[in-house]
Amino acid sequence: AQSVTQLGSHVSVSEGALVLLRCNYSSSVPPYLFWYVQYPNQGLQLLLKYTTGATLVKGINGFEAEFKKSETSFHLTKPSAHMSDAAEYFCAVSTSGSARQLTFGSGTQLTVLP
Amino acid sequence: DTAVSQTPKYLVTQMGNDKSIKCEQNLGHDTMYWYKQDSKKFLKIMFSYNNKELIINETVPNRFSPKSPDKAHLNLHINSLELGDSAVYFCASSQNMGLAGSEQFFGPGTRLTVL
C-alpha cells in the first residue's frame, strides 16, 4: 500500500520569499513521485516528477523537488514566490506493479501575499 | 487543441436523476481515468481503463458505470444521483499504465451539483 502526507493544508508566503511545500510518502517498494498544480477552476498540471536517477528534480515555473529516501520525503521548493504561483499543490505517489495507481496527498493551498 | 476534454463543464441536477459525463483525449494514450474531487479538494481515483479494459475499480457505488467505446473516450454514467455525489469529476489519461512514471494529463473537470 502507498500513501502521501502533505504537511500544512494552507501555506502563505510573501512575494519574493522562498516557497516550501512538504510531502512525505509511504511505500514498501521504490516510489515514483509527482507534484501537480491546480489553478482555480482548472484541472491538474504536472510540475515535476521523480522516477529514477538524479534525486534533485527541476520542473516548470522555477519549481524543484528533492527525493530523500532516508526521510521518505519529496518536498517542493521555489526560491522566489510570484503572485501567479497561488494555487493548490498536490503531491502524488505511484509504484511498480500491475496497476501503478496514482495516490494523491490532500493538497496544500499556496497563498502569495503582495 | 485540447488534450483531454470533458463535457459538460457544469452539471446541476435533481436527486434521483441519471446523468452522464463525457471525456475524450486526443493524445493517443492507452489509459484513461476518472477521479472524484470532494469539497475539501481531496482527489480519489474511481476507475481506470487500459485499452478499453477496466483495470482499476475502486470502492465506488454501482450507480457509477464507466463506459469506454474506444481508447480515446471514457464516459461516466451516474444513476439515481444523490446529494453526496456533488463534487468535481476529473478525467485523465496517460500513455500507458505499465510505463514507469507515466504522467497523467487531466481534463478541466466537471462540477456536478445535486440538489
Partners of B102 on chain A (C-beta within 8 Å) are 100
What are the CA-CA distances from residue B11 to residues A40, B22, B57, B111 (Å)?
A: 18, 12, 24, 6
Q: Judge whether residue A98 has pLDDT over 50.
A: no
Mean pLDDT estimate for chain B: 91
pLDDT at residue number B103: 85
Local confidence band at B60 (pLDDT 50, 70, 90 cut-offs): confident
Which residue shows C-alpha cell 464516459? B75
Asked if A78 contacts A64 with a C-beta cutoff of 8 angstroms, the reply is yes
Question: For A3-7, A87-91, B45-49, B108-112, which range has the lowest pLDDT when averaged over its residues?
Answer: B45-49
| Cis, peptide link before residue B66, omega less than 30° from 0 | no
Q: Determine the Cα angle at B98 with ends B44 and A22, to 5°.
A: 45
Partners of A65 on chain B (C-beta within 8 Å) are none
Beta-carbon separation of B101 and A32 below 8 A = yes
Cβ partners under 8 Å of residue A32, min gap 6: A49, A50, A51, A93, A94, A95, A100, B100, B101
Which residue of A32, A38, A46 is in closest CB contact with B100? A32
The residue of chain A with its CA nearest to that of B4 is: A43
Partners of A54 on chain B (C-beta within 8 Å) are none
Q: Judge whether residue B19 has pLDDT over 90.
A: yes
Query: For the segment A47-77, what is each residue's pLDDT rounded down to a tens digit?
Result: 999 988 899 999 999 999 999 999 999 999 9
Q: Judge whether residue B38 has pLDDT over 70.
A: yes
Q: Judge whether residue A105 has pLDDT over 80.
A: yes
Query: For the segment B65-113, what is each residue's pLDDT rounded down to a tens digit?
Result: 999 999 899 999 999 999 999 999 999 999 876 666 778 899 999 999 9
Torsion angle, CA of B77/B81/B84/B90, rounded to 10 degrees?
20
Beta-carbon separation of A32 and B48 below 8 A = no
Which residue of B45, B55, B107 is in closest CB contact with A102? B45
Centre a 10 Å sphere on the Cβ of residue A7 and count the other Cβ atoms it contains: 14
Beta-carbon separation of B42 and A104 below 8 A = yes
- Set of cell numbers at residue B86: 456533488
Which residue of A32, A41, A106 is in closest CB contact with B42? A106
| A contact set with B (CB within 8 A) | 32, 34, 36, 38, 41-46, 49-52, 88, 90, 94, 96, 98-104, 106-107, 109
- Set of cell numbers at residue A15: 512575494
How far B63 CA sits from the closest chain A CA (Å)? 23
